[in-house]
Amino acid sequence: MKTYLILILFISSSFQGYSQEEKKEKKAKSTTKLFYKKAVKHYRNKSYNLSLYFLFSLIKKNNGVSKKENKLLTRLLSQTGTLPLYLYDPELLEQINNPYISLHLANHYFKKKDYKKSMAYASSVPDSNKFYPEARLIIGSTLQLKNDPKFKSYLKQCIKSAHKKSSGAFAKKFKLYYDLIRENCQINYARELYSKDKYARSNAIYTDIPKTAFSWPYLLLEKAWNYYHLKDYNRSLGLLMTYESPLLSSYFLPEAEILKALNYYNLCLYNDTAILIEKFFKVYKQRSLNLRSFVKKNKDPEYYFNFIDKKLSNKLNNSYVKSLKNQLKKKLKINLHYGSFKKTRKEYQRLKAKGASKRDLEFLEFTMKKMKQRIGRHVQEYFYYFINQINFVASEMFNIRLEVISRKKDLLYNDKTLVAKRARGSLENVNRSADEFFFTFKGAFWADELGDYSFGLKSNCKEVDKNNKE
């Protein structure tokens, strides 16, 4: 009797255990369906960030993504952009084979200097995908850092594919995106030629980038360095003079001041060099102190977000900070991220007006906060970069000033002087190719000729005895 009782109890407990496991499985399936159902519902209601939240919750629960879920993920990210991906753990994202995710991880690991992972994810983006040009840029840039000559083929693929996709883009923002990617690939190739002392070939690539490009104002400086190394100091100075144009008044590149001083120094126009250096210390030292004081007082990344937000106060009394703000507005990457934030803010405002649940609103508030911090850090880094640039330039300017003093002393001790008198300049001193025109410049800027100016200063480097000056 006891034996039967034990057997019955064992069978009963086995059925009970099976029933509990079955219940768990059913519950898990139910949760999975619920998460997916909510993700689809929010997608159809154009609440894309909330849809992403439920979809990623599902992916985390299942340790993977189905084909159907991945398709929805692609649709969502095409609306939100990649900025929301910074909210999620890279280890979770690594489980997903999706071009948006792959590009995000490639950029993430490139910044972390984990080039092996960065290249692996960039390589997984197929040539049919809209992110293919940027993926080629990442691979080419990585190989370039490793001095691998294969980088050239990847940059060429980037240029070709970006040009093709730009031509077929309907939306203005996508056309700008592809144009910027193509320009970055061209710039990287030009910089490689510069590093190999192939200055003329480097400038030929820069010349292919139109003046309407976002990057063009910054390329003037790089072209000017090429002309400097080609010993065409007049052309280098002319390019740098372009920054004085009212059209480029919001651009300030401290490095350009060094190059101006070096050009004057190599023409042996020491008085001009000294005047430029004194002007730099008088004007930009104060700018550096103002900027340093500004960033020291304002450390919260969310504060810097306000520099590109429409709600930015116009009460800034620091003109230099204002000029940096204007430059930031023209940064395409920041604009794309800001576009993602604005969409999220609209989603939040719409759902709040409809009386959405507290949990949903809190998630969107958290999302916006993280987005603000991410964008704000980009802006903050830009400010710190300029502080470091000014300090670097100040150090270099001090060294050039010492060289000028030394040269003047040498002339004095050797009873020598320099032959030429400082004059306005002449066409005879301008190097001009057959397809370049010459226009006299009399205190005005012409937009069409920006980036094509040249000084006509004569070199003053010939030494003569003071008593027998020619």
Tens digits of per-residue pLDDT, 360-413?
999 999 999 999 999 998 888 888 888 888 888 888 898 999 988 888 887 777
**Among candidate residues 209, 231, 265, the one where a domain is terminated:** 209
Q: Which domain holds residue 143?
A: 98-209
**Cβ-based neighbour number of residue 450 at 10 Å:** 19
Count of the separate structural domains present in the chain: 2
Q: For residue 3, what pLDDT is reported? A: 52
| 69 lies in the same domain as 109 | no
**Residue 445 contacts residue 415 (beta carbons within 8 Å):** no
**Among candidate residues 160, 179, 209, the one where a domain is terminated:** 209
Joined tokens for residue 174: 């996508």
**Residue 194 contacts residue 202 (beta carbons within 8 Å):** yes
Residue 224 lies in a domain: no
**Residue 226 contacts residue 196 (beta carbons within 8 Å):** no
**Residue 255 contacts residue 393 (beta carbons within 8 Å):** yes
Q: For residue 289, what pLDDT is reported? A: 77
Q: For residue 438, what pLDDT is reported? A: 45
For the chain, the average pLDDT equals 82
Residue 357 lies in a domain: no
> Over the stretch 11-47, which tens digit does the pLDDT of each residue have?
455 555 555 555 555 555 566 788 899 999 999 999 9
| 118 lies in the same domain as 33 | no
CATH code of 173's domain: 1.25.40
Q: Cβ neighbours of residue 84 under 8 Å, at least 6 residues apart? A: 49, 52, 77, 340, 344, 367, 371
| 69 lies in the same domain as 110 | no
Residue 356 lies in a domain: no
Crossing angle for the helix pair 233-241 and 216-229, to the nearest 10 degrees? 160
Q: Cβ neighbours of residue 287 under 8 Å, at least 6 residues apart? A: 320, 390
Tell me, yes or no, if the pTM score tops 0.85: no
What CA–CA distance (Å, rounded) separates 99 from 119?
Answer: 13
Residue 275 lies in a domain: no
Q: Please state, for a pLDDT cut of 70, what percent of the chain lies above it.
A: 80
Q: For residue 424, what pLDDT is reported? A: 47
**Residue 180 contacts residue 214 (beta carbons within 8 Å):** yes
Joined tokens for residue 73: 């993920």
Residue 176 lies in a domain: yes
Helix (H) or strand (E) holding 416: strand 416-418
Closest among 308, 268, 281, 287 to 404, alpha carbons compared: 268
**Residue 284 contacts residue 261 (beta carbons within 8 Å):** no
Q: For residue 300, what pLDDT is reported? A: 86
Closest among 55, 113, 60 to 90, alpha carbons compared: 60
> Over the stretch 113-167, which tens digit does the pLDDT of each residue have?
999 999 999 999 999 899 999 999 999 999 999 999 999 999 999 999 999 999 8
